[in-house]
Amino acid sequence: MSENLKTIKELADELGVSKKKIHYQVSKLDSDLIQKLDGTIYLDNSAITAIKENIGYVSKTKLDSGAIQNRQHLDSELDTQNTKLIHEKSEQINYLKEQIKNKDNQISVKDEQIKSLVEAQKQIQNLLDQQQRLALQDKKLLEEYKAENDRLKVLKMPSQETEFKHLDNQYKDEVNALKEKLENLQEQIKDQKRIEEQEKPRKWWGLWRK
């Protein structure tokens, strides 16, 4: 039997349809397009072509050819879109790279500023620590000075009191001596006045006798 002949089942499997649908299409064919052997129906190329046309079957080869053309068209469109997209993305990437470079420069500047501020803060902290240490030293020295001064006051107080007493007594003695001299001078003046008073009448009397 020719290899071009197919059973209803084989044709149904090839076309991907049910045997019932092929049986219906076979019933509409001319009897000379159908061959029967041992009760099995065989279909030649003419019958198969007629059945395919009746059910609207499109050859896979034709489908593949159209799909290839569509695919080529789509590929061309995709290539164009991809090229455009790649160009746009490339520009965006370059822009972002430039922005990143600027940001990196800004970050470097900020890092230097932060570094300078940290160094300045360290110096200020060192100065504050030094100032605090000096203040503590001054406070300690002041306390030591006060303590020494208090100690010297305690040591000098008895001798100063004695000295003050001595000076007071000396002053009193000098005052008393001056008072005594003043009294003596006053007595001398009084005596001199008495003598002068006594001599005045004599002087007038002598002048009158002359």
For residue 61, give the DSSP letter. Answer: H
Categorize the per-residue pLDDT at 156 as very low, low, confident or very high, splitting at 50, 70 and 90: low
Residue 17, burial from CB neighbour count under 10 angstroms (0-12, 13-18, 19+): middle
DSSP element (H, E) containing 18: none
Residue where the block lists tokens 């007629």 = 50
Q: Which two tokens stand for residue 10?
A: 């084989």
Give phi and psi for 17, each to the nearest 5.
Answer: -125, 175
Q: In what order do the strands lie in the sheet with 6-7?
A: 6-7, 40-43, 34-37
Domains of the chain, CATH where assigned = 1-57 (1.10.1660.10)
- Cα torsion 90, 91, 96, 102: sign: positive
Sequence-ordered alpha helix ranges (H) in the chain: 8-15, 19-27, 45-54, 60-209
| pLDDT bucket at 192, cuts 50 / 70 / 90 | confident
Mean pLDDT for all residues in the chain: 79
pTM: predicted TM-score of the whole model, two decimal places = 0.29
- Predicted confidence (pLDDT) per residue in 95-137, tens digit: 888 888 888 888 888 888 888 878 888 888 888 888 888 888 8
Q: How far apart are CA 65 and CA 56, in angstroms?
A: 18
What's the alpha-carbon Rg for the chain, to the nearest Å?
A: 73
DSSP class per residue in 130-175:
HHHHHHHHHHHHHHHHHHHHHHHHHHHHHHHHHHHHHHHHHHHHHH
Minimum mean pLDDT range among 27-31, 102-106, 137-141, 158-162: 158-162
Q: State pLDDT tens for residues 57-96.
A: 876 665 555 555 665 666 567 667 767 777 788 888 988 8
